[in-house]
Structure 1
Amino acid sequence: MNLKLLLLGASLLFPVAFAVGGAQPPPSTSTDLAASLRSVARSVSDDLRTLEPIVQLAKDARLVLIGEGTHGTHEFYRTRAELTKRLVQEYGFDAVVIEGDWPDAQRVNRFVRLEGADTTPEQALSNFTRFPRWLWRNTVVRDFVGWLRATNVTRASSDRTSFYGMDLYSLPASRLEVLRLLGTLDTASAERARARYACLALIGTPLQDDPGTPETSNGASCTRNAADVFADVLRLTAQRRARLDASREALFDLEQNARIVKNAVAYERAALDVFGASSSWNVRDSHMFETLEAIRAHLGATSKIVVWAHNSHLGDARATEMGRSGEHNVGQLVRQRYGAGALLVGFTTHTGTVTAAEEWDGPPRTMQIRPSLESSYERLFHDTGLARFMLESKRAPLALRQERLERAIGVQYLPATERLSHYFSVNLPAQFDVVVHFDVTRALEPLDSAGR
């Protein structure tokens, strides 16, 4: 793996630098604490009605952030999907936003909103081709996408729930979309954007066509070029929205792709700035939060959104080692902006199997998860003897706020370096409003058995 791939992949694997050190809770209190947890935890079963307390906490929130302790656990994905169905069907949530690329999710969005040419969920998910494909091309997401389309069939177009992506790894595709969409609106603007975007070829990202001769080879100038295109797009879309024949969704699609190019350039520069002070993690999570804000503005001030992403993005970073190291994330930014109008839900497991890769860009494998470490929240939850439960942070024993380790498995699972690669210190009750623990879990089932 070259340096660039290592850096670009770090935020999906997990920022391993934060896993060093960490709190060591007094072992003498663990038995008593496990007993205290048993008295306040709520049992969760296959009967999804046992999730009702979470639904009641979430129904009035503006943003409900539902995480995952791994990128490949069936129970996390299934429970998240079932919670989301309740919020969409019973409480009118307007959008599901995933830790996925915008252009890929837009194909799904057209499908669930009864637009576009796709006739099956599998077809709608076909744009998710880059590693790690199984994150969104899996049986749980397939079934949810099919359900969402069937639910939207019964609704007026203005009341249909949307499906968006909030990540920024789609620079080549988003650049092409900007040029294509601009070309349908204003050819002069499209030509100016093409000239300004020519410098993107110098980043090393394949652009799928001839980008032209760059006006500049300077990174700062290229960043300004991308920002200038975004500003031009915003001016143009503001003018076009005043027209009766304007498609609000198409104009928003253009804006978002231009936003992605702008922020992806900043991300690439930060990722390659090995000795600099910039943080590609912060650029990425700031972009995801910016995207959430743009979606809410697009849908309306009273809109309600469910967000699907990894725990490391959705738990409040201020309660973790990440925050102490200068990193922020979506969960922190959402809480700072919305306060009690946000609900943060995390998932944990003690052991089982997981779908993950052994190396970057490798195929998905069903891998055995090692039992959690002694000094972790997962081991404490295992020690309660409860197979599955939910815990509201406001009901948690005070001693649970003493920092412990928490496990985070991304697209790679590296058992040989388990402690260094997959654990970091957190104050879990401050990190999430609700935690759902499954003691033994099974691997997520990809749609592409041999795909990356």
Structure 2
Amino acid sequence: MAAHASFQEALPRAVAACALPLEGARHDHDALLHAIGDSTLVLLGEASHGTHEFYSERARLTRRLVEEKGFCAVAVEADWPDAYRINRFVRGRGPDPGPLEALGGFERFPAWMWRNTDVLDFVRWLREHNDAHPHHAAGFYGLDLYSLNTSIEAVLAYLDRIDPEGAERARRRYGCFEVFGHDTQAYGYATSLGMAESCEDEVVRQLLELQRRAPEYARRAPDADGEDEAFFAEQNARLVKNAERYYRAMFRGGAASWNLRDEHMAETLDALRAHLGRHHDAPAKIVVWAHNSHLGDARATEMSREGELNVGQLVRERHPDAFSIGFTTYAGMVSAASGWGAEVEQKRVRPARPDSYEAVLHATGLDRFALLLRDPRLSPLHVERLERAIGVVYMPATERASHYFYADLAAQFDAVIHFDVTRAVEPLEKTARWEAGEAPETYPTGL
């Protein structure tokens, strides 16, 4: 027993000895940037979708990657058409007069994930950077596939401008979805049970036509952005194809829908990389923002035992030079909902379980720091422990079952950034429940 206690004390000491303090200074990330080296893909995770420190630190590190290492894009866990509206703004295109308006595409749940003050500040910075350095501009793109209806509308709007006859063909093909209105889950339910014909053949035909005619459409475009707009339309058509499969897979259970979603994000990332690097000899350098569960290598977690893969695994398999950084916290507050589609709240994050990685990092006594996990002194971290994951829903009452999974942190990521106590990201639209916050667990006794 004494030997076990001694080991439990020795591990936090070993971690503390390797810790790189984060003091809010410009040089904070020097060691991380040195470790990143010539990597062309840097994956920046988060342990929740509502923690201020995760957003702000990712933005700080991304600014240096753009300014000092020539990264030309940020690709995020967001829908393609909504994020592309931001891309147009930061590149000085489109009608939006400011960053607040450019974030206007994020209307559906969970709006706070991207409509928050930290993202607003980053979008403002990105526009200012691009205005000052037009030959080293960086874009903003989405990787996710939930926007089936919005992407259909975007394809039709593009074709209305560039090829009205092609737009009519697309309307006929996408008309397959009309009986379901905008209810993508109803479509998935009915087709998975054989109650309705799937639209698979029609969406594949539409994508193939757009791909075949993309060079012609780029030449027809009325401005210099023709190649980008043709790519935007093609990606929307690809999203519709993959989203159609995803919504059908949702009702079959198992790992299929999760895998389809992450395969789509990895496919989109590769397509974006090829598009942005088309006029250069070197591959495009891209920063990716998404949840730890998407960006940490699934093979190092219990996900793989359940048949799941993720973006982090696919990227490492395809691009061995990629560098991934996970983010963790021990306690604090988070912006999250109590159920899917519910309003955002400030919810108290329980102190991490004593058998978790977060507890080990907390036991160092350090407030905020980074770790380079390839450091041989950190080999004791190369074991399976519990790791916490909070998405857009946080259920503290069932936290062990709902929010913890086993992982080998040192195999999952190349580095980790830990903030011991964190605060909730601030939504641009605050609900009354968010403003009220959450009372401490000792309320009303105060004990």
TM beyond 0.5: yes
Q: Please tell me the root mean square deviation across aligned C-alpha atoms, in Å.
A: 2.0
- Please state how far the C-alpha of 1:221 moved relative to its aligned partner: 4.7
> What amino acid does structure 2 have at the position aligned with 1:151?
H
In 2, Cα distance between equivalents of 1:288 and 1:48? 32
- How far the C-alpha of 1:57 sits from its partner, in A, is 2.4
Task: Tell me, yes or no, if structure 1 residue 240 matches structure 2 residue 220.
Answer: no
Which range moved further: 421-430 or 358-367?
Answer: 358-367
Which amino acid in 2 is paired with 1:332? Q
> Could you tell me how far apart the structure 1 residues matched to 2:74 and 2:232 are?
16
The answer (yes or no) to whether the contact 1:59–1:87 under 8 Å persists in 2 is no
Identity percentage over the alignment?
50
Q: Distance in 2 between matches of 1:278 and 1:366?
A: 31
| Pairing 1:17-96 to 2, within 5 Å after superposition | 29-96=7-74
2:341 maps to 1:361: yes
Residue of 316, 334, 340 corresponding to 1:335: 316
For residue 315 of structure 1, the aligned residue among 292, 296, 299 is: 296
Deviation sequence 1:82-102 (CA, Å, 0-9, x none): 000111112211101111111
CA 1:142 to 1:182, structure 2 compared with 1: closer, same or farther past 3 Å?
same
Deviation string, structure 1 residues 95-136 (Cα, Å, up to 9, x no partner): 011111111111111110011121221111011111111111
Using structure 1 for the length normalisation, give the TM-score: 0.88
1:95-134 matches, cutoff 5 A: 95-134=73-112
Shift in alpha-carbon separation, 1:356–1:46, aligned structure 2, 3 A: same
Structure-2 residue corresponding to 1:173: 150
The yes-or-no answer on 1:420 pairing with 2:398 is no
So what's the TM-score if we normalise by structure 2? 0.89
Stretch moving more, 424-433 or 57-66: 57-66
Alpha-carbon deviations, 1:388-413, whole Å to 9, x = none? Answer: 11111111522211100000000011
Cα distance in 2 for residues equivalent to 1:337 and 1:219: 37
2:105 match: secondary structure: coil
> How far apart, in 2, do the equivalents of 1:108 and 1:125 lie?
6
Separation in 2 of the partners of 1:419 and 1:278? 21
Cα distance between partner residues in 1 of 2:180 and 2:364: 51
Q: Classify the secondary structure of the residue corresponding to 1:394.
A: coil
CA distance in 2, matches of 1:107, 1:239: 24
**Aligned partners of 1:44 and 1:388 also within 8 Å:** yes
Structure 1 stretches of 4+ with a deviation exceeding 6 A read 217-220
Which is worse superposed, 41-50 or 319-328?
Answer: 41-50
CA distance in 1, matches of 2:97, 2:228: 20
**Following the alignment from structure 1 to structure 2, what is the Cα–Cα distance between the partners of residues 373 and 28?**
19
Counterpart code for 2:262: D
Q: Say if 1:107 and 1:127, in contact at 8 Å, map to a contact too.
A: yes
Instruction: State the 1:189 CA deviation.
Output: 2.2
Q: Deviations over 1:327-356 (max 9, x none)?
A: 1111111111110x2010010011011111
Q: Deviations over 1:142-170 (max 9, x none)?
A: 001001101111233x5321111111111
Q: Distance in 1 between matches of 2:378 and 2:65?
A: 29
Query: In terms of mean alpha carbon deviation, does 52-61 or 162-171 score higher?
Result: 52-61
Structure 1 portions without partners, runs of 5+ = 1-25, 208-213
TM-superposed deviation, 1:244 = 8.5
Q: Distance in 1 between matches of 2:195 and 2:205?
A: 15
Cα separation, 1, equivalents of 2:95 and 2:165: 30
> 2:149 is matched by which residue type in structure 1?
P
TM alignment of 1:394-405, pairs within 5 A: 394-395=374-375, 396-405=377-386
Q: CA 1:334 to 1:202, structure 2 compared with 1: closer, same or farther past 3 Å?
A: farther
Q: Distance in 1 between the 2:255 and 2:206 partners?
A: 23
- State how 1:286-305 maps to structure 2 within 5 Å: 286-300=263-277, 301-305=282-286
Structure 1: distance between partners of 2:233 and 2:221: 18
The residue number in structure 1 matching 2:252 is 273
